Amino acid sequence: MTSPYGLHRVVEPVGVLPQQAWRLDATPECGADEVLVDVERLNLDAASFRQLREQHGADVRRAVLEIVAERGKMQNPVTGSGGMLLGTVRAAGPRSPLGLKAGDRIATLVSLTLTPLRITDDLAGWDGTTEQVPCAGTAVLFGRSIAAVLPDDLSDELALSVLDVCGAPALTDRVVRRRAAESVLVLGGGGKSGSLSLVAARRAGASRLVALVPTEAEAGLVRASGLADAVVVADARDPVAVLEAVGTPVDVTVVCVDVPGCEHGAILATANGGVVVFFSMATSFSAAALGAEGLAADVEMLVGNGYVPGHAAFALDLVRAEPAVRALFEHRQTAQA
């Protein structure tokens, strides 16, 4: 009997959900409500990749292989985060509710932190310099997993890159519409989730968009894109600098900067009665909670849930419809390549 949450794949400790487990059973056999995937590429979470690079340097390939071999999944033991993967369905169980069939090329939209994974090529094709990892191996999806069939009209790189952060624009859209928010600040507005959040906020009706970026070079790119009404340069970790750069506090602040210590700047830049949405996995819960209290800030603070129904199609459509976003994504890919 298989569980839609994958409880039957948990080896250690028994009885917890796959994400909390230390170790999963990644045996490539397809249960009745499971989907078995031939993996083509892993897309590591940015915070995880950064940490692994900092800790292991050139040995990052070995570090990833060891984590997956030991844990049966790619979950960074320090950051707790994972990423996503791209592959082709090898088999779908008769009771799988995901609507996938053998041969579909897909991207998983659930985290690698709970996806049983086996690597069979020693990651021989990865040089360790980017978070996109060519990979041969197998992965397993559960009944409650989420996967998107890859579109024909966008390159894999672009589609994966968009799907990786597709929760951010969907939740930004929801928050801005619900609040009828006029002003929106995006910390890290030049990044992937940041640029998508800017365009989602614009389409949801926001009339004053501010992008905060770390360097003049990035500011130039974002200014040229036209995605924001104002582009300011400041260190997102410096609350006083953020407040001064932004000026008038905004209705909604979206945090897309994957470095620790951005909580207080986001809170200070948000008007009373406003909302802060934290998408960065580097967010500290206690820094956010105690920071708002210490600043007597009546702001609603949302944990950025990566799942919003329809988020994949929503994000892909934004990229199709907005050449400026597409250009920023492609520029990042070129810059990283």
The contact set with a second copy (CB under 8 A) reads 5, 7, 15-20, 79-82, 109-111, 113-114, 144-146, 167, 238-240, 261, 264, 268, 278, 281, 283-309
Q: How far apart are CA 294 and CA 5, in angstroms?
A: 39
Which CB atom, from 164 or from 218, has the smaller least distance to a second copy?
164
Which CB atom, from 49 or from 126, has the smaller least distance to a second copy?
49
Indicate the DSSP class of residue 151: P
Please name which of 78, 81, 65 lies closest in space to residue 19, comparing C-alpha atoms. 81
And the tokens for 31? 């249960």
**Residue 247: Cβ within 10 Å count:** 11
Which CB atom, from 82 or from 189, has the smaller least distance to a second copy?
82
Asked whether the beta carbons of 109 and 84 are under 8 A apart, the reply is: yes
Which CB atom, from 103 or from 309, has the smaller least distance to a second copy?
309
Closest distance to a second copy from the beta carbon of 279 (Å): 8
Closest distance to a second copy from the beta carbon of 283 (Å): 5
Helices 216-225 and 323-336, interaxial angle, to 10°? Answer: 150
Closest distance to a second copy from the beta carbon of 274 (Å): 12
CB proximity list for 3: less than 8 A, separation 6 or greater: 142, 143
Which CB atom, from 104 or from 263, has the smaller least distance to a second copy?
263
Closest distance to a second copy from the beta carbon of 307 (Å): 5
Closest distance to a second copy from the beta carbon of 119 (Å): 20
3-state secondary structure of 142: coil
What are the backbone dihedrals phi and psi of residue 156, each rounded to the nearest 5 degrees, phi first?
-55, -45
